[in-house]
Every structure is written in structure tokens, then in C-alpha cells.
Amino acid sequence: MNMRKFKMNKFISLNRYFFIPIALILFFLSFYLIYGDIKNNTINDFNKEQLLLAETASQGITYFFDDYQSELEFLAKFKEIIDFSDESKALMANYYETHKSIVTAITRIDKSGVIQYTYPYNQSAIGRDISYQNHIQQILVNQKPVLSDVFMSAQGFLAIALHVPVFKNKSFVGSLAVLIPIDELGKLYLGKIKNRKNGHAWLLSENGVEIYCPVSGHTGKSILEITEHEASTLEMLEKIKNNKTGTGKITHKEGYEEVKTKELDLFYAFYRIPLGNTYWTILISYQKTDIYIALSRLRNRLIFVFSLLFIALSFYFYSLTKVRNLLREETKRKEAEKTLLKSEEKFRKIFDDHAAVKLLIDPNTCKIIDANKSAANYYGWSCDDLKKMQVGQLDLNSSEEIKRRIEGVLFENKDQFESKHQLKDGLVRDVEILCSKIKIDHQDVLHLIIHDISKRKTAEQLLQEKTDKIELQNKKYQKVNEALNQTNRELIKAKEKAEESDRIKTAFLHNISHEIRTPMNAIVGFSGLLNTPDLQAEDSQHYTDLIIQSSDQLLSIINDIVSVASIEAGEEKVQEKEVNINFICKQIKEQFGSADSNPDVSFGLQTGLADEASCVVSDSIKLTQILTNLVDNALKFTPKGFVNFGYTRKDELLEFYVEDSGIGIPADMHNEIFKRFRQVELTSARSYGGSGLGLAISKTYVEMLGGSIGLSSEVGKGSVFTFTLPYKRVNSEATAKLPSMT
């Protein structure tokens, strides 16, 4: 019995130890699965972190080139830059001095690709033909802004060039460019990125050249050359070519003990930056050890916990879950901090540089916390002065009303209202205020966007007065109709017609005010510039030409309005006399076929009668006006192609025509465009200018001369306007000769 009991106890003891390795195996299996999951999540979270860093840097680089392109395009419109006068050198020098922290040269290139001038002055570079460079060939052919790949500049250093075209009367005359050392942008936007212990950020061009790399000797070289065309590098470049963003792994060789080399497995995240004609790529790489440092500590901790949890397994799972939650919360906190930082930086840039007037207000004290540049320009006070003021010093409402509005924004979500604001010079302006509540440094702040609506208020008042008059007139019509029984249907029709007329005339008033303001602004603006001390004679002549041109445009608009008024008053009469229609046509041909006309549009004339047979009895002024209006419209609405006009004789009629290959007219507008105040587009933001009266005047004149007018048109394929006039040949043996056109 004792032997049997001993054997039984030994068997139970052996079985107990037998379960220990099973338990260990199960634990290690669970540990491996959990650890693997944590490792994958950590890598994914780390990749997201790198992509956020890359995206933030990408936005900075995009803003950088957008700003510089806008500045260069603005500079390229200066007459001195276009004509490359001596004053252009001073302009280029001033631009360089204000941007030399990152720009190393500004260069003017002619239309054949030869350097005309560069600042800082470099005699060896001036006159050099650089048309062989790829980016120069692109801008010579496409005549659009171009960002180059890395190249050796004529000044003797590796650089990136940003070119914008220079035009003179729509003709390409060269380009204006700035040179930026290839590593400056990287240092500015990537140099501050600290990516764990061994990681770093670098910048690739579209062709794989390392524009910036913190590793010595890499900048300016092809990544394929550096990695000796390693397969993972080719795979990475293909992935970048086909995707905007992503992650991956690359094998990279680095120097080791100055002789040997070692292969490193680098994880990377990339973000592609679109830059007009090309793209760059931000890559942020890091070694496996950078990710696994925290994981190694976690692993050691879990092994230590394992020895304890072997006794109390439940405590182990609790600790593991807690660690995972802590890691997740830490990741979320970091992402939230980066998102907040990114959002605040973006808001600050938008706030400071926005064209709209913007203020930040403390809702508790009504004090102005901040003001942007547009606010300073609008109110007349500097930004610092505005930040010392209360909003009540600008707003003419009572303090109680201002507080009531603030409470409406804070508690009732009322975000739009109108007010009157006083400027520094005492002028009071009507404004519309868009207000929203935001948080800055965990404090509620009111964000105000202010629009000047004084002109709109004046226009609304005039429109209301016009509406009141129309309503009074409608009431009179209604009383007459009620007295005459001429029915409800006719009354509705008359009302709708009046409302339609009012709508059309209102749209016309908006459009005509825009058309008048444009030349008037030019006349007033350039007239003021004529008083500038020490004004150069060349500039004075240029301003005078612009004033004359704007005056002619304004006079044309006024003539159209006077003609319509005369027609409506019944004061237009036909003044028939001997007219040479060939002479009129050729005058119009020379008028619109001048040297500054559109070179992309051919302009032709075909007369149907010989000079001696082209003398007829008609009104020369009205005939000239009809043809001028039709030809002017055809050229205006034909950006490219042809415009032809002329006439033929058909029995006792002369049929005139004006045809073009322009934008065309929709079928539902064929009759409408001959009505007064009607155009294909009815807003002042139309693609093409004009009063909308030309065709109505032409139709009236044609009918007064005994003819008719019509058109055939299709959108996108052009238009043909035709009109007929009686052929009244001069009854005289001595036919007038065609006057000289010299």
C-alpha cells in the first residue's frame, strides 16, 4: 500500500511539473501575439507621425513657391522689367536685398534664352546662352511658370530656378527668375525635424536628385547613384511616381569605420509636393532601432512581469492592457498637439496675409487683441495702435448694443450683422461683420471678418428708389386697367413685363456702373500719378496714353447710353446722303486691324461692289455705327481664329455680314441679345466687358434704314450676323472716287 501510494504521489507530482512547460508555451505564444500586435501598431502610429511631419513641411514649401511665384509675376508686369531698362536693374537689386536670406540671385532672360542681367552682378554670366537647359526650353515653348530640377547655374553653383514669363502686349519677351541654393529650402523646412536618434528628413526632385540631405556629400546627387541602383530604391521611386503619399522600407549603405560599409534597413514615409510643372518628394527615414527602443523596454518589463504573473496571471493581463492604453493615449496626445500646432500656424498665416479686414476681440473686455495688415490699411491706424483700442472706438453703436451683439454670438450663434465704423480720418463707412467664436490658448476669442458695404448700401438705396417709382407706376397702370376693365391676364402680363424690365435694367445698371468705374479708376489713378515729383518723361507719356485710352473707352460707353436715350425719346432721325460703302468698310478694317490687335485672330474684308459702284444713298453715321458694333463684338468674343466682314449685292438689296469663330451664342439667346440691356451674361463679373447696348442700337438703326438683321450661331463654333439695306445707287454721272486711306 505504501509503495502504491508513493508511486501515485510521484505520478501526480510529475504531472504537475508537466503542466508548467505547457503553461509557459501558452504564455509565450500569447506574449508573442500581443507583442507582435503592439509592434505593428507602433510602426503604423510612427508612420502616421512621419506623414504628418512630411505633410506640414510640404505645405510650407508649397506656400513658399506660391508666394515667390506671385511676387515674380507681379514684378514681371513692371514696364521697366518688360522693356529691360536701366531702372529694372534697380528693381531687381531691391528685390534681391529683401530676399537674400534665401535667394542667391535674380536674373532677367530674353526670349531666346540669353541672360540679359543678373544680380548680384556677375559679368561672366551676362550674355551667356542657357537655352540648352531643360527648364529654359520649357518656358520658351510653354510660356508658363517653370520650377527647374537641380542644375549648375551660370553663376557657378548648384541651384533650383523659379522662372515666370514676361509678356509685352501678349507677346513673350523672356523670363524673370530667382536662383535658390539646393539645400536652403531643405534647411528651412526640414532641418528642424528631429526624428528619434538616427532618423532624418530629406528632399527628392522628380528625377530622384537629393535636393536636401543631412548626410554629408549626398545633396545634389542622384539617389540611384548613391544606392548603386539598389532594387528597393527603384521600388521606392516607382511608388512615389504613382502615389501621393505612402510608406515603405529601403536598404541603404552607409560608411563604417571609413573602409567598410554596412547595409541598413530604413523605414520611410513620403509625401509628394505638386509644384506646377514638376513635383518634389519629402522623405522621412528612420531605423528599426528607433522604433524598437520603447518596445524593448516594454518587452523587458513584460518578461519581468511574467515571472510575477506566473504566480498571479490575472495581474499580468491587467498590466499589459494598461500599458497598451497608455501608449495609445500618448500617441493620441502627440497627434492632437501636432494637429493643434498645425492649425494655429495655418490660422496665423491666413489671418495676417488675408485680403479681408480681420480683428480678434476679447469678448469680456471688448478690447482688440489683434489686427491684420488689411485692417491697418482700411482703418488708417497701425496694427500696434489698433491693439491698444476698444472695438467701441471703431463701432458707432452704443456700448450696450455692442455687448448685446457679443452675447448673441456667444450664446445664440448669431454670426452676421451690419454696423457703421469710423476710420482714422473721420470717414464713416457701412460694414458687414461676420463673427465667429474660436479658441486661442484655451480662451474664447471673437474672430471678426469685416467687409465694406458702403457702395452696396448706396446702390441698394438707389435701387429701392427706382423700385418705389416702378411700384408707383405699376399702381397707376393698375388703376387705369381697373377703370378700363384691356383683363386680369393682361394685368399679370404687364406686371411680369415690368418686373422683367426692372430686373434687366437693374442688372444693366450694375454692369454699366462696373464698366464706367473701370476706366474712371484708371483716369483718376494715373492722373494722380502725373503729379509725382521728378516723374520721368517716359513714365509721364505712358500714364498719359493710359488716361487717353481709358477716356476713349468711357466715351464709347457714354455714346451708347446717349444713343439709346435718343432712340427711346424718338429723336433719332435718318440723315440720308451720298455714301461710299467701300470707304466705310476699309476705314473699319484699318481701325480694328491695327498693330496692337490680337495676333491669334485673322481679320479680313470682302467688298461686293467695285469702288465706282459702291456709292449709295444712306446714312453714313448709322451704317458706320452698325458695322463698328458688330465687328467690335466679333473681335471681343473671338480669342483665337478669324473674323471676316463685308457685303454682297442681291438684286435691290445690299446684304452685309460679320462672321467669326468665337465663343458663339446659345439658341435661346438669339432674340434676347437684340433687346436693350440684354447680354448673354448679365453680371458685372462677366468674362467680357461691354454695355449690352450695341446690338440693340444696331437693330434699331438697321430698321430705321429700311432693312432687317439676324444671326446664325452655335456655342463654341462662332457666329454670323447679317443685315440688309436697300441698294439706292447715286443717280449721278460723275461717281465719287474712293478717298485716300493714308
Q: Which residue has the higher pLDDT, 376 or 200?
A: 376
Provide mean pLDDT across the span 133-159: 83
**Low-confidence winner among 471-485, 558-572, 581-595 (lowest mean pLDDT):** 558-572
- Numbered ranges of CATH 3.30.565.10 in the chain: 573-726
Mean pLDDT estimate for the chain:
79
Q: What is the structure's pLDDT at 314?
A: 62
Give the CATH architecture of domain 346-453: 2-Layer Sandwich (3.30)
Q: Tell me if 710 sits within 8 A of 659, measured CB to CB.
A: no
Which of 341-355, 405-419, 453-467, 533-547 is most confident?
453-467
d(CA 632, CA 603): 11
Who contacts 128 (Cβ-Cβ below 8 Å, separation ≥6)? 114, 115, 154
Of 660 and 504, more confident: 660
Does the domain formed by 185-291 have CATH 3.30.450.20? yes
pLDDT tens per residue, range 256-269: 334 445 667 778 88
User: Residue type at 527?
Assistant: S
Instruction: Please write the tens of the pLDDT for every residue from 217-230.
Output: 777 788 888 878 88
With 0-12 CB in 10 A as exposed, 13-18 as middle and 19+ as buried, what is 76?
buried
In the chain, list all ranges with CATH 3.30.450.20: 185-291, 346-453
What's the rounded mean pLDDT across residues 136-151? 88
Residue 286, C-beta contacts closer than 8 angstroms, at least 6 positions apart: 46, 50, 195, 196, 198, 199, 266, 267, 268
pLDDT of residue 543: 78
Q: Provide the pLDDT for residue 201.
A: 80
Say if residue 740's pLDDT is above 50: no
Predicted confidence (pLDDT) per residue in 71-129, tens digit: 899 999 999 999 998 898 888 999 999 888 889 899 999 999 999 999 998 888 899 99
pLDDT tens string 589-604: 988 886 456 888 999 9
C-alpha cell at 28: 509565450
> Cα 252 to chain center, whole Å?
41
**Measured CA distances, 285 to 54, 55, 83, 200 (Å):** 11, 14, 48, 6
Looking at residue 251, what is its pLDDT? 74
Per-residue pLDDT tens for 614-623? 999 999 888 9
Label residues 339-364 b or e (16+ Cβ within 10 Å = b). Answer: eeeeeeeeeeeebeeeeebbbbbbbe
Three cell numbers written together for 561: 447710353
Q: 655-670 b/e with 16+ CB inside 10 Å = b?
A: bbbbbbbbbbbeeeee
- pLDDT tens digits, 507-559: 556 556 656 766 776 677 778 778 888 888 888 888 787 787 667 667 767 76
Cell readout for 43 is: 510602426
Distance CA 594, CA 574 (A): 31
| The CATH number of domain 573-726, selected from 3.40.50.10860, 3.30.1490.20, 3.30.1330.80, 3.30.565.10 | 3.30.565.10
Print the SS3 string covering 526-574.
HHHHCCCCCCCHHHHHHHHHHHHHHHHHHHHHHHHHHHHHHHHCCCCCC
* pTM recorded for the entire structure: 0.47
Question: Averaged over 26-39, what is the pLDDT?
Answer: 68
What is the band of 659 on the pLDDT scale with cuts at 50, 70, 90? Answer: very high
Helices (H), 569-708: 581-592, 620-636, 694-704
User: Dmax over Cα atoms in the chain, in whole Å?
Assistant: 160
Torsion sign (Cα): 249, 252, 254, 260: positive
Name 269's bridge partners: 247, 284
Weakest-pLDDT range from 65-69, 268-272, 738-742: 738-742
How confident is residue 315, by pLDDT bands cut at 50, 70 and 90? low
| Share above pLDDT 90 across residues of the chain, in percent, rounded to a whole number | 21
pLDDT computed for residue 300 by the predictor: 67
502 vs 507: CA distance, rounded Å:
8
